[in-house]
């Protein structure tokens, strides 16, 4: 990653912070984007104190025009060699209980914002000798989960876009990577979701482990990366025999309902 400049969205979050550290430690200059200035200022200061090169861009991806975000990110160091679309939101609960605003935000942040940012950055990235686009998806972007219906759908769309774009850009300098974490211990998961993950025995990763897999995907030019062994297998099984997976997930969906109700009560 030496002499490469990488834009990381969602850098104030759990996985984004870990990505900033991993890529900076691998020698990259990092441009860190998020809405909250305080954690980003602290992160940039820490990275610089450790001898890394880091700059920040404070922007809300829902209200800042993608061309402005792209321009600020490129101007931070003068050029960019890659973008990691990591910013994301998750609204847990039964679909019938989800507000129209939460549904719209899910698709706007998880799907539309990364696509529009990529479109704004592509002319620049295509002028580089080698460039990388990483879209952080989810295992739920291949296995559609009850109580995460819109979140799953937003990540299915991001995965589909990543695959199409990879085919469109094949043979050129820009590589497209899709990385799908499983449950990771960060603030995106509410207390109710965290309790549910423990109660249902979901496999859990640290943000640092996810960041290392993202770095490995870029270094090894991996197209798709799914984290976790049983999850990798279930992704394939769901693609070939979705009706077989139905049974297990309908059962799990029933176990999730009390946690969804608790989450709804806590957020009201």
Ligand X SMILES: NC(=O)c1ccc[n+]([C@@H]2O[C@H](COP(=O)([O-])OP(=O)(O)OC[C@H]3O[C@@H](n4cnc5c(N)ncnc54)[C@H](OP(=O)(O)O)[C@@H]3O)[C@@H](O)[C@H]2O)c1
Interface ranges with ligand X (CB under 6 A): 10, 12-16, 34-36, 60-62, 86-90, 109, 136, 138, 181, 183-184, 186-189
The smaller minimum CB distance to ligand X, of residues 157 and 188, is found at 188
The smaller minimum CB distance to ligand X, of residues 39 and 173, is found at 39
Measured between alpha carbons, how far is 94 from 147 in angstroms, rounded to an integer? 5
In sign, the C-alpha dihedral spanning 212, 164, 101, 56 is positive
The smaller minimum CB distance to ligand X, of residues 26 and 188, is found at 188
The separation between CA 156 and the C-alpha centre of its own chain, rounded to angstroms, equals 12
What would you report as the CA-atom Rg of the chain, rounded to the nearest whole angstrom?
Answer: 18
Least CB distance from residue 263 to ligand X, whole Å? 15
The separation between CA 135 and the C-alpha centre of its own chain, rounded to angstroms, equals 6
Q: DSSP label at 184?
A: B
The smaller minimum CB distance to ligand X, of residues 105 and 173, is found at 105
Measured between alpha carbons, how far is 167 from 189 in angstroms, rounded to an integer? 33
Least CB distance from residue 35 to ligand X, whole Å? 3
The strand pairing partners of 250, in sequence order, are none
How many other C-beta atoms can be found within 10 angstroms of the C-beta atom of residue 261? 14
**Which residue has the closest beta carbon to ligand X?**
13
Any catalytic annotation for residue 151?
yes
Least CB distance from residue 171 to ligand X, whole Å? 28
For β-strands 224-226 and 174-180, DSSP reports them as: parallel
- 151, 161, 183, 226: which is the annotated catalytic residue? 151
How many other C-beta atoms can be found within 10 angstroms of the C-beta atom of residue 39? 16
Least CB distance from residue 188 to ligand X, whole Å? 3
Query: What positions carry a catalytic annotation?
Result: 151
């Amino acid at each position: 990653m030496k002499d490469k400049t990488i834009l990381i969205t969602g850098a104030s979050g759990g996985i984004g912070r870990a990505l900033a550290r991993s890529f900076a430690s691998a020698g990259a200059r990092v441009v860190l984007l998020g809405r909250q200035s305080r954690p980003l200022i602290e992160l940039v200061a820490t990275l610089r104190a450790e001898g890394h090169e880091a700059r920040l861009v404070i922007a809300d991806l829902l209200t800042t025009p993608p061309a402005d975000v792209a321009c600020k990110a490129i101007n931070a160091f003068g050029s960019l060699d890659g973008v990691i679309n990591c910013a994301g939101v998750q609204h847990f609960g039964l679909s019938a209980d989800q507000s129209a605003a939460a549904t719209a935000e899910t698709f706007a942040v998880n799907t539309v914002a990364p696509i529009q940012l990529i479109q704004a950055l592509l002319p620049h990235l295509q002028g580089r000798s080698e460039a990388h686009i990483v879209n952080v998806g989810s295992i739920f972007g291949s296995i559609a989960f009850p109580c995460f219906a819109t979140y799953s759908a937003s990540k299915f769309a991001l995965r589909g876009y990543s695959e199409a774009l990879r085919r469109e850009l094949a043979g050129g300098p820009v590589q497209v990577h899709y990385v799908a974490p499983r449950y990771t211990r960060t603030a995106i998961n509410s207390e109710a979701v965290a309790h549910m993950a423990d109660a249902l025995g979901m496999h859990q990763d640290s943000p640092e482990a996810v960041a290392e897999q993202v770095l490995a995907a870029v270094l090894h030019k991996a197209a798709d990366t799914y984290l976790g062994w049983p999850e990798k297998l279930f992704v394939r099984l769901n693609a070939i025999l979705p009706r077989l997976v139905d049974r297990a997930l309908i059962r799990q969906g029933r176990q999730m309902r009390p946690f969804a109700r608790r989450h709804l009560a806590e957020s009201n």
